[in-house]
Amino acid sequence: MTNPNQKAVQRRQIIYIGLIIALLTLSLIWRGKESFRLPSFVADYNRVGALHQARRTHDFKEVPAAQSPINVVGDWLASRTILEQASRESLDLREVDQGDAEVDAAFVRLTLTGSRGLAVTYLWRQAMEYQKRNEFHKFEQTVNAVVRLQPNFTTPWLYQSCNISYNVSVENDRLTDMYYYIARGIELLAKGERLNRDSPDMRYYIAFYYQNKFSVSDKVTTLRSMMQLSAIKPSERNPNAMRDQSDPTQREAFQNFVRKNPQLCRRLREKLGYTQPKQIVQFLDDNERVPTRYDRDRQDAVMSPNEQFPALPPRFPEGPGELHPGVAELDDTFDAFLAARAWFLYSLTVVPPPTSEPDGPQLKAADRFRYRIPKAPTLIIFRQGAPRAQTYFAERLQTEGWFDADTRWYPDERADSRAETWFGDRNDVSRGDALGNRGEALASNASSREAWAKSFAMWALHGEQNGLRFSPAQLLNYQELARSVPDDDRLSMLNDEQLKAAGFRREQIRARNILNAYDRNRNMTNIGYFLAVTEAEQDPQTVKARQKLFDAAQTEQAGRKSEAITQYVDALAAWRQVLLRFKDFHRADKPEEDTYDMELKLVALLERSPEIQERARGTALAMQAMMPFAHEAVVAYPPVPDFAREIAEREANLRIAAEDPRVQERVDALMSDKKDDAAIAKDWHVVLKWKRAIAAELANRAAEKPLTSPERQKAADEPRWRAKAVEAFLVAGTKPTAWAELNQARDEIAKAVVEREFDWLPEYRDNFKDDSNRWVRPEAVRIVKQRLNLIRAKPSDPSTESTTESR
Amino acid sequence: MNLFGVLLLDREPLSLTAVPGLVMAWLQDAGGFAALGLIIYLLAVMLAPKDQPASQKLRMPVTGFMVAMAVLSLLTYALMAAAWAMGKGATPADELLPPAQVGEAIKYVPPTVHWHLQPILLALGGLFAILGIAQPFVRDLFKLRFRRIMALGKICFKEAIRNRIFLAFLVFLVFFLFPVSWVGTVKPEDELRSPINILTTGKNIFLTIPFLILAAFAIPNDIKSNTLYTIVTKPVERFEIVLGRFLGYSALMTFVLLIMVSLSVIYVYTITLDPRAKEETFKSRVTARGKINFMASRGFTEGTNVGREFEYRKYIGGSPDTRERAVWSYDSIPGNLTRSDRDSVPLEYTFDIFRLTKGDENRGVDVNIRVCAWQTGQYPSPTKGDGIWRWTDPAKQKQYEDERAQINDNLKANKYGPGYDSTLNYARPGTPTWKLVSDLAKKYGFYEVPSVEVYDFRTGSVPIPVGVFQAAAEGDPKNSEGEVIPRLQVYIKCLSHGQMLGMAEADLYLVEGQRSFAENYYKASFGLWCRLVIVIGIAVTLSTYLAAMIALIGTLFLYLSAYFAEHIADIGAGTSIGGGPFESTLRMVRGESPTMPLDQNTGALGAITWGDAAYSWFFRRYANIIPDVDAFAWSDFLAEGYNVSWEYLVVNFLILVGYLLPWGVLAYYLMRNREVAA
């Protein structure tokens, strides 16, 4: 039996419990938890979403009508719950709406109880101090703490990732360390991106770091190779499995590694000079622990996207062919540019869609909250990241010698010793090419031609979507419309009636604005250059010429100078045809400078040849003989090198021009000319000389025993042999033959033809008065010579010489 | 190339040789505060009303000794002031550091003894004041009973275990034992270094906070809960209450720290480390460091400043023709280096490369190393463009070169028999050829490494034949003029064109031997122990008079100030950019840049300068009472694989005692004069 006091206590307890349950339930509803949603007859959640959007845009026209009066109240209440107000459709305030949420970091933030700013300031200062002292491991830990304490503040992520990838990485001389910190900077930003899903800047700069650090930095060859190691499974690049080259199993493992990764191995062999298997294995050993995407402790399983390096964007519909963390294996073609391309494209998914309208995208009210404008760079440049990355990718393949599907790499082709032979029998002392066999041929599954084609397509699409590229008809149409419209921005602000009063139509103003934006943006983005380059480079003719130039450079590198000269002449002649065909490409600055660069290689080879040296010495002697009074100046400033350079330059130009089809056509015509000997000898003595020489040689070859000199003379003048000589000459054509007379004859006659009839051709000008028609304009020549330090300094006054003292 | 840790030593650890200087500085600083305290105390007693209760009078006794010491102290300070006014007996400028410049970092230099009138009078005055104020304290020390202190100490243990907040903090420490790889990517070489840093940071935070709370709240809680009233009714000395709390919490802290350190050691020994990390930091190297100098054709230089923000290192230019050298000098040769059972001593170095040209991809710079005993003096070639230094004794140099060439010829001709290399150039320790190298080095006191490749911030190592150290240890090191010269010198030359090589004193050393990593872990934790004892000491002292929260904040402020000691020293020395508060305010009002010189025509410039000087003076005094936590920092030694010498720890303990003693005396007076009777 309870007394009244106890009853009162019990009553009070029941009331309290009831209140607690009621408040808790109410708070759950008020918070808007998924499991406590209002029934549909009370709240229509589709309408609730529309209400959120309407509040954002202050435009309630698109909100559907409520189904019942209950719904009017219910929807309003449902749209005002804490969760709904903070949700993605409304204010984007929830951490999960911003990106991934980190429980541990959130816990630390809570425990700081309002002193987060103080802690972050202290840590930031400490981090800077560690960086100053090069205590990078402490620096990195501190930076990690700073960014995680304020995960949705994007600036520290951007600043510190750049700091690590650039400033910290370059403090490390050892490239393994440098690569590690580049990777850590990128990883940090990728982590920030996961926590801030809609940041275009973060996505863009991840791509930019990939592209920039692996394309223009000083140590790019090694860094690229390390990047590839990151994408290869650790078990496949285990140095211990291929260290002992005397063990057949290990040697085979090495060979399989090379077969699977020809691009990587070719770069290591040809660019870094790792010609022996043991050097390759040492490289693998030194970089065994590079950041990777595979978990070595779990049989090389692909790690979770958050842990992988190279960090890749998730799959997204706008980039169906792009790499993503789910790809089981990245092949030998993978490089930083492909990663950059994926991130660049991914960054475009959160910026407004492209438009050719100059006033910017006309977004629907709701879409204004879907997209963000990046802080930097300007939007039109921001948008061209992906085609730019693709262009770098194509350039990379081209520079490394992967031109088209038929390209093969012969690792043992230039092996100088057994130790440098990768695939031949280790006991076989001979080199692959000495046996007439280039050794094992390796192919890559990517080629520069395909990459250039894709690059051109991407640039073209980018141009079309952003008003940077119009068809000629379209452009003409806009120009016609805009012809009478002055370049005055105020016209755009006039209404239709005012425009009519001013004598214009709206479409005319639009055309003027489009053309203005077209000019401005084309200048800013340099898209004309990229279109011209990619269009030319994708062409099979260009690819072939590029391959010839590459082969010539390889031959030169191998020390076979005479062969290299022939290859360069042939390659440059082919290159000249490419430039003639693609005028815009020819006149873009870089191709022109590159052309002169390549020509200079030929000039340098010729300059050092004994023949040119002899001619230069002769010229110098002749000059001295004519000007004995200039002896002192000649001693102070010997002219032989200058003469040699000039003669070599002329010779190079002459030889290249001699390969021109028009010259060759004329050579054939001259050779076939049926004039009498006297007439030929009068104008073309060289033709007659070679006609006779080839005829004599033909007769000699046809005879049972070698002909005597008088017999050869006789045969040389016989019409029968002369006709056969012309035929043999024409059949051989421009192809090098084993018959020296045919090669020499064509060269000499062609040179004579150029000198007498095509002397404008070496300069490539159609008009002598106009420098713009030169093969390489003087400005490009000057830039290249300056860059290569080829402008010889005059002897300086001894009194002005540097007197820096060695301490 | 081997990889090892890189140790940055902004300040050389304090060794026993610094103790006399430290004692003198302590007498001057602590004595100054003691004199102030003594005068305040005596004035308080003199001005106290006559009719106060007997118990109050008992608590504030004044002895003749105290008065005499106060008089002596004041007299000594007066003499000091007179000498200062007359400009007599001051420490000469060449014994003092050059005045600090605005914007320059203040380099820590341990105090030294100056045998001049003014510093001696200052120390003497301080000594008298300390003796005077400490007299009742010392007298009452004899009344203390260990049994009672122990009993009070035990309470600390019990209370701590009952205190859930304390236990919660300890639980956090367990999280720091999780492998670092669980929470992020770590460079293979850092797999040991990073956990050690994290563990140290964790222990620093999660041990300091609970013990600070416990110590600051203990006595105020006793007063609040009236337990103190019960205690003081017993025959307990009041200082025993303070000491009981201090020792109790210190013992508890020691116990927790020991457990944590032991768990950390077990953790470090059980985790799987990358071989690179093991090779780099899982060791405890005992090193012998020399003094660095930079030399060039014109003699001693300061080394080149390449403009790096961190001015720790100075640089020498690189070229085969350069005459610039960095020279490490050793005045003594540790016995370990000359032991007959070893044939080589590793010479380790860490340099910073400042590139003026891009250099080759993935290649460091080349360095020439010469190790010379005192018998083999070196000097730069007088000819410009000749980068090879000469021996002071050319005949001996010729003899050395001839003998070396002869040995090389013999080796080439295989005259020494099997097992020998064909040249001395590539001899490695443990080979018969190395014995020839060592004998030659001993005979001439000279060994040269012609060229070795070094990388940026990568510690390299070259073996040096023990013979050269044996030669250096012999005889009396004097030059031809009879001047004492270093026993051994190591000359470093950068051979690579267009590169600068940066180095500081700690960047090159000889490895005497190795000790156990676990032992080093415990030794390195002693520094943390000292810091925690300081925190407990300050908190207990302040809590004897202040409210718990005030004591906690006060202690925290004082302790955290120690982490900004450099900035405080800057303000104290008047070298902060933009001047003191008055000058800075003026600049802000005028919108002037802090780096611009102040306009000398400014009105009230004198007042501003005086105000800033007074402010600096107060900051210098404040700097005197903040603990020198940097002196107890050993985690970098541990993390980078260097042995913490016992000598350093002994000095640490002396500093700890020297720092806590004045706090103890203060606590004694505060507790004695506190009204706690009900």
Interface test with B, best of A104, A108, A138, A173 (most B CBs within 10 A): A173
Report the largest interatomic distance among the alpha carbons of chain A, rounded to a whole angstrom. 153
Question: Which chain A residue's Cα is nearest to B191?
Answer: A137
Cα of A238 vs its chain's centroid, Å: 30
Please tell me the predicted confidence (pLDDT) of residue A564. Answer: 93
Angle formed by the axes of helices A385-399 and A527-537, to 10°?
40
Percentage of chain B exceeding pLDDT 70: 95
Angle formed by the axes of helices A472-482 and A506-525, to 10°?
120
CB contact under 8 A, B384 and A175: no
Residue tagged 């700890």 (tokens): B656
CB contact under 8 A, B296 and A807: yes
Chain B residues inside the 8 Å CB shell of A174: 362, 364, 455-456, 458
Q: What is the pLDDT of residues A352-365, one digit of tens each?
A: 988 877 665 566 66
Cβ-nearest to A222 among B190, B321, B362: B362
Q: Which of B448, B426, B443 is nearest to B378 (CA)?
A: B448
Cβ-nearest to B385 among A187, A221, A806: A806
- Return the CA Rg of chain A: 37
Q: Which of B420, B421, B422, B426 is nearest to B449 (CA)?
A: B426
Both structure tokens of A588: 């873009």
Contact A203, A179 (CB under 8 A): no
Please tell me the predicted confidence (pLDDT) of residue A796. Answer: 54
Q: Which of A423, A397, A394 is nearest to A410 (CA)?
A: A423
Quote the minimal CA–CA distance from A132 to chain B in Å. Answer: 6
CB contact under 8 A, B185 and A187: yes
- Return the CA Rg of chain B: 30
Contact B661, B537 (CB under 8 A): no
Both structure tokens of B240: 């025993």
Taking residues A516-538, report their average pLDDT: 93
CA atoms of B22 and B30, how far apart (whole Å): 11
Lowest mean pLDDT among A177-181, A599-603, B302-306, B672-676: B672-676
Please tell me the predicted confidence (pLDDT) of residue B2. Answer: 36
Cβ-nearest to B190 among A132, A137, A187: A137
CA atoms of B187 and B276, how far apart (whole Å): 10
Residue A633 predicted with pLDDT over 80? no
CB contact under 8 A, B361 and A141: no
CA atoms of A392 and A589, how far apart (whole Å): 17
Quote the minimal CA–CA distance from B449 to chain A in Å. Answer: 22
Report the largest interatomic distance among the alpha carbons of chain B, rounded to a whole angstrom. 106
Quote the minimal CA–CA distance from A470 to chain B in Å. Answer: 45
Please tell me the predicted confidence (pLDDT) of residue A425. Answer: 62
Please tell me the predicted confidence (pLDDT) of residue A435. Answer: 46
Q: What is the pLDDT of residues A584-605, one digit of tens each?
A: 888 888 888 989 999 999 999 9
B317–chain A Cβ distance below 8 A for any pair = yes
First and final C-alpha spacing in chain B: 74
Interface test with A, best of B191, B456, B553 (most A CBs within 10 A): B456
CB within 8 A of A260, min separation 6: which ones? A236, A332
Phi, psi (deg, nearest 5) at residue B278: -60, -45
Please tell me the predicted confidence (pLDDT) of residue B218. Answer: 87
Quote the minimal CA–CA distance from B323 to chain A in Å. Answer: 5
Helix count and strand count (H, E) for chain B:
20, 15
Task: Give the DSSP per-residue string, A436-471.
Answer: T-----B--S--HHHHHHHHHHHHHHHHHHTTS---
A150–chain B Cβ distance below 8 A for any pair = no
CB contact under 8 A, B364 and A173: yes
Highest mean pLDDT among A489-493, B4-8, B332-336: B332-336
Chain A residues inside the 8 Å CB shell of B358: 218
CB contact under 8 A, A134 and B362: no
Q: What is the pLDDT of residues B274-325, one digit of tens each?
A: 887 887 788 899 999 999 999 998 888 889 999 888 888 999 999 999 999 9
**B186 vs B322 pLDDT, higher one:** B322
Please tell me the predicted confidence (pLDDT) of residue B540. Answer: 95
First and final C-alpha spacing in chain A: 108
DSSP 8-state secondary structure symbol assigned to residue A55:
H
Phi, psi (deg, nearest 5) at residue B328: -100, 130
Phi, psi (deg, nearest 5) at residue A667: -60, -45
178-197 of A, contacting B, C-beta below 8 A: 180, 184, 187
B297–chain A Cβ distance below 8 A for any pair = yes
Cβ-nearest to A806 among B310, B322, B364: B322
CA atoms of A645 and A10, how far apart (whole Å): 112
* CB-based burial, A598-612: b 16+ in 10 Å, e otherwise: bbbbbbbbbbebeeb
CB contact under 8 A, A172 and B456: yes
Element (H, E) at A362: none
B272–chain A Cβ distance below 8 A for any pair = no
DSSP 8-state secondary structure symbol assigned to residue A420:
G
Quote the minimal CA–CA distance from A785 to chain B in Å. Answer: 21
CB contact under 8 A, B297 and A807: yes
Both structure tokens of A698: 């033909």
CA atoms of A508 and B600, how far apart (whole Å): 67
Lowest mean pLDDT among A757-766, A793-802, B468-477: A793-802
Question: Which chain A residue's Cα is nearest to B180?
Answer: A141
Taking residues A143-156, report their average pLDDT: 93
pTM for this prediction: 0.83
CA atoms of B428 and B423, how far apart (whole Å): 11
CA atoms of B304 and A426, how far apart (whole Å): 54
A533–chain B Cβ distance below 8 A for any pair = no
Q: Is A290 exposed, middle or buried (0-12, 13-18, 19+ CB in 10 A)?
A: buried
Q: Where are the alpha helices (DSSP H) in A488-609?
A: 496-502, 506-525, 527-537, 540-557, 561-581, 583-586, 589-607
The region, left, alpha or beta by phi > 0 then psi within -120 to 50, assigned to residue A660 is beta
Question: Which chain B residue's Cα is nearest to A220?
Answer: B361
Please tell me the predicted confidence (pLDDT) of residue B3. Answer: 38
User: Rounded mean pLDDT of chain B?
Assistant: 88
**How many inter-chain contacts (A to B, CB under 8 Å) are there?**
73
Both structure tokens of A490: 């105020």
At A392, the pLDDT band (50, 70, 90 cuts) reads very high
Both structure tokens of B637: 């030694």
Chain B residues inside the 8 Å CB shell of A134: 6, 310, 352, 457
CA atoms of A242 and A259, how far apart (whole Å): 14
User: Rounded mean pLDDT of chain A?
Assistant: 87
**A297 vs A386 pLDDT, higher one:** A386
CA atoms of B103 and B311, how far apart (whole Å): 12
DSSP 8-state secondary structure symbol assigned to residue B346:
E
Q: What is the pLDDT of residues A736-751, one digit of tens each?
A: 777 888 888 888 899 8
CA atoms of B379 and B392, how far apart (whole Å): 7
CB within 8 A of B482, min separation 6: which ones? none
Q: Where are the alpha helices (DSSP H) in B234-297?
A: 238-270, 275-281
Both structure tokens of B231: 């205690």
Lowest mean pLDDT among A593-602, A709-718, B155-164, B622-631: B155-164
Taking residues A98-123, report their average pLDDT: 86
Question: Residue B318, SS3?
Answer: strand
Please tell me the predicted confidence (pLDDT) of residue A249. Answer: 93
Contact A410, A427 (CB under 8 A): no
Chain A residues inside the 8 Å CB shell of B323: 806-807
Phi, psi (deg, nearest 5) at residue A68: -155, 165
Element (H, E) at B287: strand B285-289
Taking residues A26-52, report their average pLDDT: 82
CA atoms of B435 and B416, how far apart (whole Å): 12
Q: Which of A393, A295, A289 is nearest to A342 (CA)?
A: A393
Residue A36 predicted with pLDDT over 60? yes
Quote the minimal CA–CA distance from B610 to chain A in Å. Answer: 32
663-692 of A, contacting B, C-beta below 8 A: none
A279–chain B Cβ distance below 8 A for any pair = no
Quote the minimal CA–CA distance from A175 to chain B in Å. Answer: 6
CB within 8 A of B674, min separation 6: which ones? B238, B544, B545
Please tell me the predicted confidence (pLDDT) of residue B103. Answer: 63
Q: What is the pLDDT of residues A640-650, one digit of tens each?
A: 788 898 899 88
Please tell me the predicted confidence (pLDDT) of residue A431. Answer: 46
Question: Residue B348, SS3?
Answer: strand
Phi, psi (deg, nearest 5) at residue A105: -65, -40
Chain B residues inside the 8 Å CB shell of A272: 361
Lowest mean pLDDT among A484-493, A699-708, A784-793, B250-259: A784-793
B193–chain A Cβ distance below 8 A for any pair = yes
Cβ-nearest to B456 among A173, A272, A307: A173
DSSP 8-state secondary structure symbol assigned to residue A637:
S
A282–chain B Cβ distance below 8 A for any pair = no
Cβ-nearest to B187 among A133, A137, A805: A137
Cβ-nearest to A806 among B183, B194, B321: B321
Please tell me the predicted confidence (pLDDT) of residue A374. Answer: 93
Lowest mean pLDDT among A403-417, B93-107, B654-668: B93-107
Q: What is the pLDDT of residues A307-318, one digit of tens each?
A: 899 999 999 999
**A702 vs B100 pLDDT, higher one:** A702
A125–chain B Cβ distance below 8 A for any pair = no
Taking residues B98-102, report their average pLDDT: 68
B171–chain A Cβ distance below 8 A for any pair = no
Residue A755 predicted with pLDDT over 60? yes
CA atoms of A343 and A386, how far apart (whole Å): 8
CB within 8 A of A478, min separation 6: which ones? A470, A511, A514, A515, A518
Cβ-nearest to B197 among A138, A222, A806: A138
Residues in chain A: 807
Both structure tokens of A532: 């011209």
CB contact under 8 A, A173 and B353: yes
Cβ-nearest to A219 among B184, B188, B361: B361
Quote the minimal CA–CA distance from A244 to chain B in Å. Answer: 21
Residue B414 predicted with pLDDT over 50? yes
CA atoms of B661 and B668, how far apart (whole Å): 10
Contact B144, B55 (CB under 8 A): no
Chain A residues inside the 8 Å CB shell of B198: 141
Task: Give the DSSP per-residue string, A217-275.
Answer: STTHHHHHHHHHHHHS-GGGG-GGGSS-TTSHHHHHHHHHHHHH-HHHHHIIIIIS---
CB contact under 8 A, A137 and B458: no
CA atoms of B624 and B648, how far apart (whole Å): 21
CA atoms of A308 and A326, how far apart (whole Å): 10
CA atoms of A239 and A279, how far apart (whole Å): 11
Residues in chain B: 678
**B77 vs A620 pLDDT, higher one:** B77
**B144 vs A461 pLDDT, higher one:** A461
Please tell me the predicted confidence (pLDDT) of residue B328. Answer: 96
Please tell me the predicted confidence (pLDDT) of residue A763. Answer: 67
Please tell me the predicted confidence (pLDDT) of residue B225. Answer: 81
Residue tagged 């200082």 (tokens): B239
Residue tagged 């440059």 (tokens): A572
CB contact under 8 A, A174 and B362: yes
Residue A81 predicted with pLDDT over 50? yes
Residue tagged 């950068």 (tokens): B494
Taking residues A671-686, report their average pLDDT: 85
Say if strands B344-349 and B488-494 run parallel, antiparallel, or are unpaired.
Answer: unpaired
Please tell me the predicted confidence (pLDDT) of residue B453. Answer: 93
Question: Which chain B residue's Cα is nearest to A142?
Answer: B198
Question: Which chain A residue's Cα is nearest to B324?
Answer: A807
Contact A644, A616 (CB under 8 A): yes
Q: Which of A77, A72, A71, A78 is nearest to A34 (CA)?
A: A78
CB contact under 8 A, A133 and B187: no
